[in-house]
Chains A and B, each alone.
With several copies, the nearest count.
Chain A
Amino acid sequence: MSEPTIVAEITTEPLDGGQLSARLCTLEDGAVVVFEGRVRDSNAGRRVARLRYEAYAEMAERVLAEIASEAAERYAVGAVGAAHRTGSLELGEASVIVAVVAPHREAAYEASRYVIEAIKQRLPIWKEEHYADGTSAWLGEQPAEGKAP
């Protein structure tokens, strides 16, 4: 198997998982796993109207490429692609996609899971939820104490 392909993008454009996986797939790859994270209409019991994602874009692209490369080193995959959207998103729109293609399904699932968990832990992106009642809040999924998460 040749060196795995890595794609990592931070973009304000709408995301398309099928398009990303089509770009990555080769005839050696029998398994494709695409994860898509979408804007839900509620969170922690509150009605969400829309979201805004803010990124430290230059760093986030590096970190996303690092995460994808780590997954490609750990698992026997042909390619790992990940993209995160920034700016304002409506309900139902995709905020993140992860596409992994691999000769076999076990590696594809595991690499996919690795990437999305790492994104949630350390991609420098922030989410501001705007609620149906007109208020808004910044979310953070883990404490920011100390050094690198």
Chain B
Amino acid sequence: MWDQTPQSPIGNSPSVAASTVAVRVLLFGVYRELAGRPELQIELPSGSSLAELVTELRALPGLERLPERPAVARNLKYASLSEILDPADEVALIPPVAGG
């Protein structure tokens, strides 16, 4: 529903400079293998949610098989997909855990 083009400067954002957010995305385990890499850098329109980030990721080669609603962490904490991304967020996609 969103694309990666920066939002128009005449959008709702009060600051022109904040019209996109760049987030670092970490991939582990089976997700890392799907992507073929441990880390991505993604730019999204300001105000994008984690759910929207997941939608972007699922459009990338290999990541079509990512679940629609994977577990995610934002800045080292489990996060809800409805949370809005901040600039410089570190997001991690968390495959089913298997510690112990």
Question: Which A residues are within 8 Å of any B CB, using their own CB?
Answer: 37, 53-56, 58-60, 62, 84, 95-96, 116, 119-128, 138-149
Contact = CB atoms under 8 A, between A and B. Distances in A.
Interface string B25-69: 010111011000000000000000000000000000000000111
Contacts, number: 103
Interface footprint category on B: 20 to 34
A37 B68 CA distance: 32
Given A62-B76, A126-B28, A144 B99 contact: no
Given A123-B97, A148-B71, 15 more contacts: A54-B29, A59-B76, A60-B99, A95-B99, A120-B97, A124-B94, A126-B29, A138-B33, A140-B97, A142-B97, A143-B96, A146-B81, A147-B78, A148-B78, A149-B78
Given A59-B92, A148-B71, A140 B98 contact: yes
A22 to B, nearest CB: 20
B80 interface: yes
Interface of B: 26, 28-30, 32-33, 67-73, 76-81, 92, 94-100
A56 B100 contact: no
